[in-house]
Amino acid sequence: MEWIFDGDRPIWRQIVERLKQRIATGAYPPGERLPTVRDLSCEAGVNPNTMQRALAQLETDGLAVASRTAGRHVTGDGAAINALRQRLAGNEIEEFLKNMEALGYSAGEAADLLKERKGKEG
């Protein structure tokens, strides 16, 4: 997956978002060892200090656990991961509704369109 960064926001915050997405989708399953700072910084094309800051934020957020000898792992706390998924889903819904409102649809009309579309997919 290619890392593309928006110049309007701090890169480390964008990295945190990307890593949270990977945790939420199971690309990094609960309890799994995360790639090293060096590996992730090479993959993303960023300074290791930037990646370190992002990973430290994941720890602060309770989504990663660090060990001196075993590196960092995704939390095994299923409730924390589920809460992350809920927050990310809520953000997507808000963005969707904002875009639909810009097109002139109310939330109810947008919901109707989704139901209609879902019905067509079978």
Q: SS in 3 state form for 109-122?
A: HHHHHHHHHHHHHC
Check residue 34 and give its pLDDT: 96
The Cα 2–Cα 53 span in angstroms is 20
Phi and psi at residue 61, to the nearest 5° = -80, -5
Write down the CATH number for the domain with range 11-76.
1.10.10.10
pTM of the entire structure?
0.84
Structure tokens at 52: 């370190």
Check residue 22 and give its pLDDT: 96
Check residue 121 and give its pLDDT: 77
Residue 76 has a CB neighbour count (10 Å cut-off) of 12
Check residue 122 and give its pLDDT: 66
**Which stretch of DSSP H or E encloses residue 17?**
helix 11-25
Residue 70, classed as helix, strand or coil, is: coil
**Which stretch of DSSP H or E encloses residue 46?**
none
10-residue mean pLDDT series, the chain (122 residues)? 88 97 96 95 96 97 92 95 96 96 96 90 72
